Chains A and B, each alone.
Chain A
Amino acid sequence: QQQVKQSPQSLIVQKGGISIINCAYENTAFDYFPWYQQFPGKGPALLIAIRPDVSEKKEGRFTISFNKSAKQFSLHIMDSQPGDSATYFCAASDMSLGRLYFGRGTQLTVWP
């Protein structure tokens, strides 16, 4: 059973545009929602994370929007750049346990 569902599977955005990736979860015990960025041949790297006590978190061009009642969260990449081309994974965990449940990933391509 997929604990975290992610969409779309792939995304093509023009340089300067907004990239939006969505995730949904079922387990109400989850209290930590990170987004990871992965380049080919590299391990995932933490991009930004949110706790459910806030509805939005912004770091530079990256914003997480969180809807606790709908059990959904999304990543917005503003002013997308070719260097943002990578695979993005949402994840969720119960922080007292530590284990991360990952979505299936979104392959983002930003073309010039």
Chain B
Amino acid sequence: EAGVAQSPRYKIIEKRQSVAFWCNPISGHATLYWYQQILGQGPKLLIQFQNNGVVDDSQLPKDRFSAERLKGVDSTLKIQPAKLEDSAVYLCASSSDTLGEQYFGPGTRLTVT
């Protein structure tokens, strides 16, 4: 069974630029999560989808971050405009439902200069 796929693996941008990350969850997984992991800290949830609906986006900085999950499968996370403090690893995870184990992708390491 293929795991959670993410791309790109690394991205370097200048502040005020925009960037987008892509996630392909495990086939059949209804729940998809985006986490932000700042260096030296644990992952922090940004947004949670159940199929293509948003369940929890309370920690998403909505003035600059947006996410969508079209057709309840792939998801994209966008930052526009980026700030220096957005430098982090962005992790995508999926689970069969909210009760299931969360499987994480390898993450996208974003550096904002």
Contact = CB atoms under 8 A, between A and B. Distances in A.
A97 B102 CA distance: 13
Interface stretch (B11-19, B68-76, B77-85, B103-111): B103-111
A91 to B, nearest CB: 7
B91 A43 contact: yes
A104 B41 contact: yes
A98 B42 contact: no
Central interface residue in B48, B95, B104, by most chain A CB within 10 Å: B104
Interface residues of B, number: 25
B42 A105 contact: yes
B40 A98 contact: no
A45 interface: yes
Contacts of A105: 40-42
B101 interface: yes
B43 A100 contact: yes
B44 interface: yes
Given A43-B104, A45-B104, A99-B48, A89 B42 contact: yes
Q: Nearest 8 CB-CB pairs, A to B? A: A102-B42, A98-B98, A43-B104, A44-B104, A89-B42, A102-B43, A95-B99, A43-B106
